[in-house]
Amino acid sequence: MLPKTSHVTEQTVLTMRTLVSWHLLSVFLLILTVMPGEVTPDLDVTTTPDNSSGNDSENTSGPRAVECRIMQPAECIDCDFNVSCLYGTKQRAYCMPKPSVNCSGSQKFEREYDCLYCYQLPRWDTWCNQTVECALNKPRNYYPARPFFVSTCWAKSQHLCMGRRCFHKQIPCNWLQGYRSSTALLLSIFLGGFGVDRFYLGLWREGIGKLLSFGGLGVWTLVDVILIAVGYVGPWDGSLYI
């Protein structure tokens, strides 16, 4: 029995040694595969134009530069404006491209413009940020209150104007809060004597006055019907009717 057990043990040891050898060989081959070889530097096949002639205008990249005199974005040029011109008149100014702008042709040219500062441009010639949360602490002096908000505006690129092209401007609030002009008018006609129309619009002080005076004995009610019909009386917060 002892010799047979020794023979089995020797075969088991030999098998284990073979498996360990194959395992070490596999790990060694895996390491050789993963290890990066010698990196060959990439050849730069991009040719650089010879600028030995000293002409910087030929050393340009990208598409062909547009002519300076027809360059459209006004942000890309600096112009010598006549600030003492008559408001709204047509003027001509000498302009040059900004140092960072690449254009071809003559670097000094004339452009026509209206004698206006950028903040004086009509609203369709400007871009302004909008908001739905207007500040209600600065209403106008007449009734109903039309509060303003301060917006950041930019002059459109195709318009030349004097002064800063980015500016702040007060814009009246033109937002909605769900008040309907038809509802306010119907309430004023049928229940105006009890001040329901004023309560609906959030004008509770006037509503209490109408309620206690029975619509000003009918006179106040009639006046409110006309004012609401023409849109003079609006919601308390300055929002517009739907």
pLDDT value, residue 9:
67
On whether the pTM is more than 0.85, the answer is no
Q: Is residue 148 pLDDT above 80, yes or no?
A: no
For tokens 């908001």, the residue is 131
Q: Is residue 189 pLDDT above 80, yes or no?
A: yes
For tokens 């895996």, the residue is 30
CA nearest 72: which of 186, 159, 193?
Answer: 159
Q: Is the peptide bond before 144 cis (omega within 30 degrees of 0)?
A: yes
* 8 Å CB contact between 228 and 197: yes
pLDDT value, residue 224:
94
pLDDT value, residue 149:
78
Question: By 3-state DSSP, what share of the chain in percent is helix, strand and coil, each rounded to 5?
Answer: 40, 15, 45
Long-range contacts formed by 1-4: CB under 8 A, 24+ apart: none
Question: How buried is 234 (Cβ within 10 angstroms: 0-12 exposed, 13-18 middle, 19+ buried)?
Answer: buried
Comparing 43-57, 77-91, 170-184, 196-210, which segment has the lowest mean pLDDT? 43-57
* Model pLDDT for residues 22-62, shown as the tens digit of each residue: 656 665 665 665 454 444 444 343 344 444 444 444 443 44
Q: Name the percent of the chain lying above pLDDT 70.
A: 65
Q: Which residues of 109-148 are buried (b: 16+ CB within 10 A; e: fewer)?
A: bebebbbbebbbbeeeebeeeeeeebeeeebeeeebbbbb
Euclidean distance between CA atoms 49 and 206, whole angstroms:
81
Q: At a CB cut-off of 8 Å and minimum separation 6, what does 128 contact?
A: 151, 152, 153, 154, 169, 171
pLDDT value, residue 228:
92
* Model pLDDT for residues 109-128, shown as the tens digit of each residue: 888 888 989 888 888 889 88
CA angle 235, 240, 242 (to 5 degrees): 105
Q: At a CB cut-off of 8 Å and minimum separation 6, what does 223 contact?
A: 216
* Model pLDDT for residues 51-79, shown as the tens digit of each residue: 444 444 444 344 457 888 777 778 888 88
* pLDDT (mean) for 133-161: 68
pLDDT value, residue 223:
93
DSSP letter assigned to residue 138: S
For tokens 């010879």, the residue is 50
- In what helix (H) or strand (E) does residue 214 lie, and over which residues does it extend? helix 214-217
Banded model confidence at residue 198, pLDDT cuts 50, 70, 90: very high
Spell out the domain ranges in the chain.
68-115, 119-172, 181-229
User: Measured in whole angstroms, how far is the alpha carbon of residue 205 from the centre of its chain?
Assistant: 40
Beta bridge pairs of residue 149 = 171
